Copies of this chain bind each other. A is one copy, B any other.
Amino acid sequence: MGRHKILNTPAVRRMPSYLHCLAGMVESGLEFASTSALAAYISVDPIVVRKDVELTGLKGCPGVGYRTKDLMEAIRCYLGWNRSRSAILVGAGSLGGALLGHRDFAEAGLCFTGVFDSDGGKIGREVAGGLRVEDVAELSRRVGELRPQIAVICVPVGVAQKVVDELVGCGVKAFWNFANVCLNVPPDVVVQREVIAGGLAMLSMKLKTHAAC
């Protein structure tokens, strides 16, 4: 019934950075990665990395480090990135385009299978990834065919809830929401909301406290 699993938010958010670092190490032919190397890469204390790795369940080699490939695999499993997940993008504006073009999603097993927009000027155009923008009027029908596991919401604030209601009706159970609204969804649907202004707030606070010193 309740949540058995604990979700260590800061640790989860650090995982992709480890993956990124490890990918570079593998490319350089490094077989082992130590916590201190990973820690230096993302500017945290080594003990943070040690604890994060512990979450994945991987055992390392004392005195040597972790096998780079094993650690990548362990992190991917921990995040559920070892299996491919299909996604659709709704809203092919500049933000949506940026997401489609983002390389690191391949690492995450995220695979876009459809892109939708309401703008007649965009419909039919090819976007990054070789997909063509489809009419959002076709959304329900196409979602029935594509059966995406994730819907990425990049539509204007005003229409986000409406689009999501439609997708929930089509059986979509996970949303990555870039529209600046809190979405209303049934309890069996998960939403990850991104608040871009949150990062700016963090920067502002760092500036403030820094200036105060």
- What's the interface size class on A, roughly? 35 or more
Known contacts A80-B208, A98-B98: A190-B176 contact under CB 8 Å: no
Known contacts A7-B205, A7-B209, A95-B94: A199-B180 contact under CB 8 Å: no
| Inter-chain contacts of A190 with B (CB < 8 A) | 203, 206-207, 210
Give the contacts of A154-184 with B (CB-CB under 8 A).
173-174, 176, 180, 182
B104 touches A180 (CB 8 A): yes
| Inter-chain contacts of A150 with B (CB < 8 A) | 203, 207
Considering the complex, give the chain B residue whose CB is closest to the CB of A206: B190
Partner of A199, one of B20, B194, B204: B194
| Inter-chain contacts of A203 with B (CB < 8 A) | 150, 174, 176, 190, 192
Q: Decide if A197 is an interface residue (CB 8 Å cutoff).
A: yes
| Inter-chain contacts of A210 with B (CB < 8 A) | 173, 188, 190
Q: Decide if A13 is an interface residue (CB 8 Å cutoff).
A: yes
| Inter-chain contacts of A202 with B (CB < 8 A) | 9, 12-13, 192
Q: Decide if A79 is an interface residue (CB 8 Å cutoff).
A: yes
Assuming A16-B201, A93-B101, A174-B206, what are 19 further A-B pairs, CB within 8 angstroms? A5-B212, A7-B205, A12-B198, A13-B198, A16-B198, A17-B195, A20-B180, A20-B197, A41-B182, A42-B182, A93-B98, A95-B95, A95-B98, A108-B200, A108-B201, A174-B207, A176-B203, A192-B202, A192-B206
